[in-house]
Structure 1
């Protein structure tokens, strides 16, 4: 049973966008970063997203799948890619080890978002389906970056084959760090669905076909390494690497949370996948969402997200 404090948490009324079933015109293949993806249809549902700040210690990566942490970065300019890699990457590795207890962290890639939802939609309107949208906005639909199988797929896309197979013999995970940059969050905050309220029967698998390296932000989320047939997850003809992602259907039992007025001295640590099958949270379903009355055309939310493979040398895989 939820605590009295949890029941009385302030809630933000909003709309979340869920998977449109295939029978209703939904898709099972998507192309991140393209105008096609920006025009994709979802199913809107009105929900109340609770502010967990009063009980933040009750939520962690193992019970809920996500955790709010304090972290003040030494990065001075998040527009400088070299500074991000030389300063923020080592910070994230240490933060991830501290939160997870892992022995090793391998950073895959990062992404900065500096444009509004409206800017991205405007850009998509004047482009064909296959063209890339250059405005990178908060992702406003319910998802997990990889499915459970997709986690294995992206592992083989980003590590040498023998190394990937060796790492998977012990416990491993994919975890992200998301943080505001430059200013507090006053619109489009990030929200998470408590894994304890998730019914995995509501998961829907979509195949993400990645753009080639260098083609916009989404062209840099994966190294897209090729492998021998027994581990071949990377080819979609010669056009693109691909992996499975998770979308989700609406269920009234889902419980959603966010942290109000996040600052650049805070961050979210959250799971995409965990190989452990001992009852702990395996992933964190998430989405950005519009605050009531926010202006979609003014002053974009600015944030950075980093994706990590996380390994435990002293724990069994499952």
Structure 2
């Protein structure tokens, strides 16, 4: 069932979302050390859409049923900007949380990214929030990444019944008032909207999914998200029978927000969950 029942408070905002134009060939460049662009392509199709505040849904959105869900951030971390500390201390906590949430048999966190609106962080990797509707994987790129990461762990995909790729998004500012994430209900997205986009990395070329406009898409976000919360959202599910097998998403600009609000900084962690049944 589509997420559609909301409380009677002001449930939606009208905001601009960048879709991609259909039938384009584009490559998103992450091959250099300069700060990444905030759109996947210059050929975006700007649309004003209604975005529902998911906090006001009568039925709470969940990762399992809806492809995305907001939960409390109860992790113990001294420094999210210390990559070694994130790998040794945060990764195990993320795995424990997601396995408990999904009943997965095994979990592997394989990557994380710090995203910042401004270019003030002293980091080799400088990533902007992406203001374009996309999903992180297509079937071929998910399968490729699965085998690479499982081989590192001495695991075999054939030992498991299915797998999912889950992203976890945690704000590193007190309150997100700049470039929050919006999620499209996958049950309102058509196959005709899906388009392959290339991503150029320093050592390889990958593939992700961009989406063109459809007026029937239903959009959601969580207002005033804090550093004590986190978003989990599905970016690939090998179970092809699941209608919510991924979650198109995009950062967007909130309307009528003061120019001097604190710029968004966030960390995004990427996990593979493996299931025996």
User: What TM-score results when the alignment is normalised by the length of structure 1?
Assistant: 0.76
Deviation at 1:260, TM superposition (A): 0.4
Cα 1:186–1:37, aligned 2, differ >3 Å: closer, same or farther? closer
Whole-angstrom CA distance in 2 between matches of 1:201 and 1:55: 28
Residues in 2 aligned to 1:2 and 1:85: alpha-carbon distance in whole angstroms: 35
1:138 and 2:139 aligned: no
Contact 1:9 1:50 in 2 (8 A): no
Q: Kindly tell me: are residues 170 and 55 of structure 1, through their superposed partners in 2, closer, same or farther at Cα, counting changes over 3 Å? A: same
Q: Which residue of 2 aligns with 1:248?
A: 211
87, 90, 101: which one aligns with 1:88: 90
Name the CA distance, whole Å, in 2 between partners of 1:262 and 1:11. Answer: 16
RMSD: 2.7
1:159 partner SS? helix
Change (3 A) 1:37 1:263: closer
1:184 CA displacement? 1.4
- Change in CA separation of 1:183 and 1:29 when aligned onto 2, cut-off 3 Å: same
Match of 1:75, SS state, is: coil
**Equivalent runs, 1:12-91 vs 2, <5 Å:** 12-22=13-23, 26-32=24-30, 34=32, 38=37, 40-41=41-42, 42-55=44-57, 57-91=59-93
Alignment of 1:58-207 (within 5 A): 58-116=60-118, 135-160=126-151, 163-167=155-159, 169-207=160-198
The structural deviation recorded for 1:283 is 0.3
Q: Which has the higher helix share?
A: 1
Relative to structure 1, is the Cα distance of residues 33 and 64 closer, same or farther in structure 2, using a 3 angstrom cutoff?
Answer: farther
CA contact (8 A) 1:143 1:248 kept: yes
Alignment partners' CA distance in 2, 1:198 and 1:6:
24
Give the superposition deviation at 1:243: 2.6
Could you tell me which residue of structure 2 aligns to residue 10 of structure 1? 11
Higher Rg: 1
Go from structure 1 to structure 2 and tell me whether the alpha carbon gap of 1:6 and 1:252 turns closer, same or farther (over 3 Å shift).
Answer: farther
Using structure 2 for the length normalisation, give the TM-score.
Answer: 0.86
Q: Which moved more, 1:8-17 or 1:295-304?
A: 295-304
Structure 1 residue 74: deviation in Å? 1.1
User: Matches of 1:250 and 1:269 in 2, distance apart?
Assistant: 24
Shift of the 178–293 alpha-carbon distance from structure 1 to 2, 3 Å rule, reads: same
Equivalent-residue separation in structure 2 for 1:19 and 1:253 (angstroms): 16
Cα distance in structure 2, aligned partners of 1:111 and 1:32: 13
Residue 5 of structure 1: how far off its partner (Å): 2.4
